[in-house]
Amino acid sequence: MKITELFKQGEFVVSAEVGPPKGINVDHLVEEAKTYLSGITAVNVTDNQSSVMRLGSLATCKVLKDAGLTPIYQLTCRDRNRIALQSDLLSAAMLGIENVLCLTGDHTKMGDHPQAKPVFDLDSVSLLHTIKLLEEGVDLGGNKLVGEPPKFAKGAVVSPCSDSVDAQLAKMERKVAAGAEYFQTQAVYEPEKFIQFMEKAKQFGVPVQLGIVIPKSAGMAKFMNDNVAGIHVPDEMLAELRADKEKTKAGITGIEIAARIIKECKPYCQGVHIMALGWESKVPALLELAGL
């Protein structure tokens, strides 16, 4: 099922993210996904997130699909050249995986193999363009594909709360021109900035899912402020997370904050994307409190 079809039908699309394990046993991941994420539309599978080597996104997508879930295949340009990227896309289509999220990817210096050579033969914009060519039956070298070409719902990312809004809008415009059909955003903690961004971004006519990360602690929030571009957790939220440590540790405060953000931003977007970061068990409570 392509999530773009649901957007066209006017559905408010809810997705969540899972990270493959650093190993080959996926039983726990599949069980958690079936238990806590079966009520949502689709499940993103990260691709060696933060440049940390893990089980492959494509294999994990196939396992989740076989378990009855709808996967979104995250594909980064960091580790593969254009030959491997196109080959993996054809493999995904052959396995019945229809949703793709295109990312440039974090540099290898950030991860657990800092000595690894990054590739970056393509970036997220040229990867979107490549997928569009494959859908037309031609590869990036101008060679015709054999048989029926693949068809994907093509997604991209944007950071609406970045300090440089104009730069993000320009990137978004380039991605739409290259073939992006939907967007998932970086985590949002400043609804007013998100709403202002969406007022400008609606000119592109492409559905946008609000990105949500449940804040686990004030320390986590401060780390994101210091290290993650495009994210700023306001002081009043930091104070809220510090006010009752037991409530915060149980996840209640973080869920309350995330639910408020969703409620405030929902009229301005076409869906929500939840990056649970190991708190998949909190997703049902968040959706209930947010009224989804």
97-156 pLDDT, tens per residue? 999 999 998 899 988 999 999 999 999 999 999 999 999 999 999 999 999 999 999 999
- Residue 234 near residue 173, CB atoms below 8 Å: no
Query: 5: burial class by Cβ within 10 Å (0-12, 13-18, 19+)?
Result: exposed
Quote the mean pLDDT of the chain: 95
- Residue 3 near residue 12, CB atoms below 8 Å: no
The pLDDT value given to residue 264: 97
Cα(174)–Cα(52) distance, integer angstroms: 28
Question: Which residue type does 220 have?
Answer: M
Domains held by the chain: number: 1
Tally helices (H) and strands (E) across the chain. Answer: 12, 8
The pLDDT value given to residue 183: 98
Query: 146: burial class by Cβ within 10 Å (0-12, 13-18, 19+)?
Result: exposed
Structure tokens at 222: 């401060």
Cβ atoms < 10 Å from Cβ of 35: 12
- The reported pTM is 0.94
Residues (pLDDT < 70) of the chain are none
Running DSSP on this structure, what letter comes out for residue 101? E
The pLDDT value given to residue 291: 93
Cα(9)–Cα(30) distance, integer angstroms: 29
The pLDDT value given to residue 277: 87
The pLDDT value given to residue 230: 84
Sign of the Cα torsion 260, 263, 267, 271 reads: positive
Query: Which CATH number covers residue 270?
Result: 3.20.20.220
> What's the domain range around 84?
3-290
Question: Which residue type does 135 have?
Answer: E
Alpha helices in the chain (DSSP H): 3-8, 27-36, 57-66, 82-94, 124-135, 165-178, 191-201, 218-227, 235-243, 245-249, 252-265, 283-290
The pLDDT value given to residue 163: 83
Cβ atoms < 10 Å from Cβ of 292: 17
205-224 pLDDT, tens per residue? 999 999 999 999 889 998 98
Q: Which position has the token pair 């730069």?
A: 167
Cα(169)–Cα(174) distance, integer angstroms: 9
The pLDDT value given to residue 229: 81
